[in-house]
Structure 1
Amino acid sequence: MTATQSVTPTTVPTSVTAPSKKTTRGNRRAGRRRVYSRKQRWVIGTINLTIFFIIWQLAATYTDVPKLFLPSVTEVWAELVEMHTEGILWGNLGISLWVYVVGMVISIIIAVPLGLFIGGVRIVDRILSPYIWAIYTTPRLILMPLVLLWVGINDTARIVIIVLSAVPATLVVVMEGVKTVDNSLIKAARSFGAGRVRLFRSVVMPATVPFIATGIRMGVSRGLIGLFIGELFTAATGIGYIIALSSKTFNSAQTYAMLFIFVFFCVAMVGLTQLLERKVSVWRA
């Protein structure tokens, strides 16, 4: 009888090359975003602005661009000093700031509760959402003639155009934020007997706070655009009035100076709302 030999297959081990320390370190750096300290951000921002103003000054001094189109930095600064000396700078800036703050306070008081209500009640959301989005996408410049017909040429017109600019931007974000609340949290709260008011106060509000902060930031940006449009068309005072007057008199240095102040004002307002947004983001953690 022939003996049968059983052959056991040999398993060849596959060699796995361990990643080097350099590769691992590189992957960690690629997947990790560098976080700058507050001092580093200030230093980087200062250097960036310094380089910008140096390039601006050199371009205005050593190129053939007419002064009407590109005044130098020193001319713009001299115009700011002159407006300060004449007493027309801070008074007009204060008027613009007052009008803007009043308009934004009214906008927040209207937009936040209304956004929570519309986003939380489905039937109301279905009815009003098309109108809200239509107003949100309408250019503010188109609304200016209607505002002038409604309230005339005065400070109220500026406040109204700020409200019309800021409310829809804040409203749509808050509305959508309410819709992102986890349904399991709502069901759990209802199972413990929470009514509609307590449900909004204990569940919906904490979950929507980051969206409220984002909506306010969007409203601040849109409100600044409304302020600029309103002052160009209606004001006899304010930053926009000086810009319009200097452009009519071909004083480009003054126009640039006021535009720079307006941009600085915009950056400061948006920066404050971004800080608010970071502070309240812990509600989502």
Structure 2
Amino acid sequence: MTAGPRPAHRPGVLRRMLDASLPYQLLTFAVFAAGWELYAREWGGLLIPTFTETVQATAELLGTAELWQAMYVSNQALVLGFGIAVVVGVPAGIVLGRFRALERLADVYLNILLVTPMAAIIPLLVMSVGFGLASRVILVTIFSIVMVVVNSRAGVRQVDPSLIEMARSFGATERRIWARVLLPGALPAIMTGIRLGIGRAVTGMVIVELLMVSTALGGLILEYRGLFKAPLLYGTIVIILAEALLLISVARWGERRLTGWARTTMARSAR
């Protein structure tokens, strides 16, 4: 009697934990925290708090209404600016990737946005829009939209032209080519652009508050710096970094959910 196929051996919990990146990330963080603590105790002085002081200040800040009010004000510009960047940037990048004539017209403006120091745009915004929410939203949009447009365009470019020709040979209309070939093929690059754009949006949110409007999180940073409250200053920066990492993790999760088929296809083609 022939035995049936043996079930695949599933690795144990310990092996899966060792294969995961979390233990290595925790080890790296522990080494970084220990090095920070030792350096600050020996050579830090007044301007560099220890790791434990920073943790205590971060916990203290999280319990204050001042921080949450600043987070609310800052994230208004972040949500609106990044939302505009996605709503405008994804279609614009797809269209530029599909139609080369439009790309030749818009390419110079994309290059300008890529090489121009964004801090130099702030005086222009102040003169034309003022110090309100609109100027902060515009700067966050400018910071993040370039990544979204460029990656969306690259996603359309990397779609195999033979797939488009095959779809046309079977009588597919331009609408079906967009829906069945171009958009699914460009989706991984689009999600990558959104993930990178989030980081740029957080950067723009903080820079505009530091250089243009001393309010919200940027105002807290300037206040704690002026009063030499180093633990609170570092704690505010830690909270901003934690928010950025959380948003990027959410975007990476969405990328895995929406583009899991792409990894499956690449794995099959590699066999």
Query: TM class, shorter-chain normalised?
Result: 0.7 to 0.9
Please say if residues 56 and 73 of structure 1, whose CA atoms lie closer than 8 Å, have aligned partners that are also in contact.
yes
Cα displacement (A) at 1:236: 4.5
The structure with the largest alpha-carbon Rg is 1
Please say if residues 58 and 238 of structure 2, whose CA atoms lie closer than 8 Å, have aligned partners that are also in contact.
no
Cα displacement (A) at 1:153: 0.9
Q: Does 2:162 align with 1:184?
A: yes
The separation in 2 between residues aligned to 1:46 and 1:78, in whole angstroms, is 20
Q: Does 2:46 align with 1:53?
A: no
- Structure 1 gap ranges (5+): 1-34
Deviations 1:147-195 (A, max 9, x none): 2122211222211111001111110111122112111111121122222
Cα displacement (A) at 1:85: 4.7
Cα displacement (A) at 1:207: 0.5
Q: Secondary structure at the match of 1:88?
A: helix
Query: Which is richer in helix?
Result: 2
Count matched residues. 249
Q: Secondary structure at the match of 2:21?
A: helix
Please say if residues 209 and 283 of structure 1, whose CA atoms lie closer than 8 Å, have aligned partners that are also in contact.
no
Residue identity opposite 1:46 in structure 2: L
Cα displacement (A) at 1:200: 0.8
- Structure 1 residues 182 and 156: CA distance shift in structure 2, 3 A: same
Aligned to 2:218: 240
Residue identity opposite 1:49 in structure 2: F
Deviations 1:136-155 (A, max 9, x none): 22221111111212221122
Residue identity opposite 1:99 in structure 2: A
- Structure 1 residues 36 and 165: CA distance shift in structure 2, 3 A: farther
Residue identity opposite 2:37 in structure 1: Q
Question: Could you state the TM-score of these two structures normalised by the residue count of structure 2?
Answer: 0.83
Aligned to 1:269: 247
* Percentage of pairs with the same residue: 27
Aligned to 2:174: 196
Aligned to 1:160: 138
Aligned to 2:10: none
Choose the corresponding residue for 1:87, options 65, 81, 87: 65
The separation in 1 between residues aligned to 2:17 and 2:213, in whole angstroms, is 42
Mapping for residues 1-285 of structure 1, pairs under 5 Å: 37=17, 40-61=20-41, 63-68=42-47, 70-284=48-262, 285=265
- Structure 2 gap ranges (5+): 1-14, 266-271
The separation in 2 between residues aligned to 1:180 and 1:83, in whole angstroms, is 46
Please say if residues 217 and 270 of structure 1, whose CA atoms lie closer than 8 Å, have aligned partners that are also in contact.
yes
Deviations 1:45-66 (A, max 9, x none): 23332332232222222x1432
The separation in 1 between residues aligned to 2:105 and 2:222, in whole angstroms, is 41
- Higher mean C-alpha deviation, range 111-120 or range 273-282: 273-282
Cα displacement (A) at 1:39: 8.8
Cα displacement (A) at 1:124: 0.6
Please say if residues 61 and 235 of structure 2, whose CA atoms lie closer than 8 Å, have aligned partners that are also in contact.
no
Measured on the aligned residues, the alpha-carbon RMSD in Å equals 2.2
Please say if residues 157 and 234 of structure 1, whose CA atoms lie closer than 8 Å, have aligned partners that are also in contact.
no
Cα displacement (A) at 1:99: 2.4
The separation in 2 between residues aligned to 1:207 and 1:190, in whole angstroms, is 16
- Structure 1 residues 272 and 149: CA distance shift in structure 2, 3 A: same
Question: Could you state the TM-score of these two structures normalised by the residue count of structure 1?
Answer: 0.80
The separation in 2 between residues aligned to 1:58 and 1:196, in whole angstroms, is 63
Please say if residues 214 and 222 of structure 2, whose CA atoms lie closer than 8 Å, have aligned partners that are also in contact.
no
- Structure 1 residues 73 and 177: CA distance shift in structure 2, 3 A: same
The separation in 2 between residues aligned to 1:98 and 1:38, in whole angstroms, is 40
Please say if residues 247 and 255 of structure 1, whose CA atoms lie closer than 8 Å, have aligned partners that are also in contact.
yes
The separation in 2 between residues aligned to 1:152 and 1:110, in whole angstroms, is 23
The separation in 1 between residues aligned to 2:17 and 2:80, in whole angstroms, is 34
